[in-house]
Structure 1
C-alpha cells in the first residue's frame, strides 16, 4: 500500500493560534484525490487516533474543490510555553506521512 507521503502533493502543519494546530493534506491530481477520498481512510477518527485527542476535539474538513483535507486540533502545550517543542507547529504533520492508503 502506498503511504500518503508518496502520493500527496503536500502534508503540512502550522499554528492555528497559540492553542491549536492545523494539518493540511493536499493533492494535485483530481483522479488520485478521488481514489484516496473513496477509501475513507483520511478521517477525523484517524486524526484523533494519530494525535491522541478525542475525535470531538478534531475540527475536520474535506474540501474537494481544492483536493484537500484540513484538520484543526488542540495543541498539547501552548505555543511558546514551557515544554513546547515546536513553537510554530510546523513539524506536527509527521504522523500523517506514514498513513497507508489502500489503493
Structure 2
C-alpha cells in the first residue's frame, strides 16, 4: 500500500490560529489526488490516534485545482499554553508520512 510520502510531493503542518492545527497534503498529480485525497485512511480516527485530536473537530477540505487536501483539527489546549511542545506545529506532519493509504473506489 502506498504511503503519504509516496503520493505527495509536499506535506506541511502549521498552526491555524491559537485553537487549530492544519495539515496540507500536496499530491504529486491529479491521479493520486483523486485516488487518495478522501481516503478513509486520512479520517478523524487517524488524527485521534496520532495527535490525540477530538474526532468531532477533524475537518478535511479537498482543493482539486491544487491537487491538495487541507485537514484541520481543534487543539486540545491553546497555542502557547502551559503544555505546548510545538507552538507553530511545524514538525507535526512527520507523523503522517508513513501512513498507508487506501484508495477511494
TM-score of Structure 1 vs Structure 2, range by shorter chain: 0.7 to 0.9
Q: 1:40 to 1:58 in 2, by over 3 A?
A: closer
Does 2:101 align with 1:101? yes
**TM-score using structure 1 length:** 0.80
Structure 1 gap segments, 5+ residues each: none
Change beyond 3 A, Cα 1:47–1:91: same
Task: Give the equivalent residue in structure 2 for 1:41.
Answer: 41
Flag the 1:87–1:54 CA change in 2: closer, same or farther, 3 A. Answer: closer
* C-alpha separation in 1, matches of 2:77 and 2:38: 34
Number of paired residues? 103
Q: Determine the structure 2 residue equivalent to 1:20.
A: 20
RMSD of aligned alpha carbons = 2.1
Instruction: Spell out, residue by residue over 1:20-42, the C-alpha distance to the aligned partner (whole angstroms, 9 max, x if none).
Output: 11111111311222232475433
Stretches of structure 2 that go unaligned for 5 or more consecutive residues are none
Distance of 2:36 and 2:20 partners within structure 1: 26
What are the Cα deviations for residues 32-80 of structure 1, in whole angstroms up to 9, with x where unaligned? 2223247543334433443322322112212222111111112233222
